[in-house]
Copies of this chain bind each other. A is one copy, B any other.
Amino acid sequence: MMKPKALVLPRESMLKQVCSEECKQLIESAFNPVWNDKGCDLTEEELSELVEDAEIILTSWGSPILTDAMLEKAVKLRAIGHAAGTVKKRMPREVFDKGVRVYSAANRIAQSVGEHCLAVLLTIMKRLPAFNAEIRQHNWKATGQKGRELAGSTVGIVSASSTARAFLKLLAPFKVNVLLYDPYLSEEAADKLHVRRASLEEVMSCPVISIHAPALPATEQMITRDLIALIPDGAYLVNSSRGAVFDEEALIEELGTGRFAAALDVFVKEPIRQDHPFLQMSNVLLTPHIAGASIEGHLALMYAVVQDMLAGFAGQPTSYEVTERMWETMA
């Protein structure tokens, strides 16, 4: 049997980050690959010339977008695998009409985000940066302040997205009570996740809060000034979804009072501007939108979509496939 022709679009510097040696071997053995040896990303024109006989297209960050015109030409195209996150702005929705199957590594990235959320939450609850700084300033236990324990506490979660589910898995041995707000989550699904469905007001009143809402028009500024005011004194807030989910001006004001702590990975405008008030706040742990980024997590992305694509071709169940039904509610 002829092996399907696969365009592997990531430039070499990106490919080595998202495609392990094992994955390269898998691509060589399962496909007839055309590697991008240009030393940089292809232009749309270059891709347009190649799509005609492509059966598979593998992409990642920086790869050119698949346009309507390309889709018309790509008569042999059977599957697209995106070794990165969202695919929504990378191709026309009409790919599904053409019978093209679409795979995205977003759920693999979600695992990294889950780990990040637990990491930053424990870091701020245990005041690790403060202890580290105090020791270096020769203040051994000077403040008498103690860290907090996560085990047994109540955690409020906004949205049962894939990043929230990854976070929940890691929270399991901490035996926390979880209140979860998600208008699409059924009672039955909540039971399976061992969470209790709650209103956004209840979730924002928890002593520990983590935001996992997808970036959609419906979620923009969903965490309003009034909701931010509900966050209890001494609480811990984690946001690893999107900055625009918050009324950021209201968040700046409330965090500026120092009455609760936060770990923020995302901001309305990124990179964060040099005079942003967050940069002066000691009760905020800042990271530059890297919750989904880790060496091992990135290196697993291409493998996840290629393996899943092969499962799909073999008529087996898939884990990373994007279907037309998911298009509306996904980021």
Contacts and interface: CB of A to CB of B under 8 A. Distances in A.
Interface string A131-168: 11011101011000011111111000000000000000
Contact of A288 (B120, B123, B131): B131
Nearest to A152: B296
A188 to B, nearest CB: 23
A76 interface: no
A285 B128 contact: yes
Given A148-B295, A148-B296, A290 B172 contact: no
B149 A294 contact: yes
Contacts of A189: none
A146 B288 CA distance: 11
A210 to B, nearest CB: 15
A137 to B, nearest CB: 9
Contacts of A310: none
Interface residues of A, number: 51
Contacts of A170: 173-174
A19 to B, nearest CB: 15
A244 interface: no
Contacts of A123: 119, 122-123, 128
A291 to B, nearest CB: 9
A209 B111 CA distance: 22
A308 to B, nearest CB: 18
A36 to B, nearest CB: 20
Contacts of A191: none
Q: Which 6 pairs across A and B sit closest by C-beta, in order of nearness?
A: A140-B271, A119-B122, A149-B296, A149-B294, A131-B287, A135-B286
Given A119-B123, A132-B287, A169-B173, 17 more contacts: A112-B149, A115-B150, A119-B122, A126-B294, A132-B285, A135-B286, A135-B287, A136-B279, A136-B286, A140-B271, A140-B288, A147-B293, A149-B296, A149-B297, A153-B296, A172-B172, A173-B173
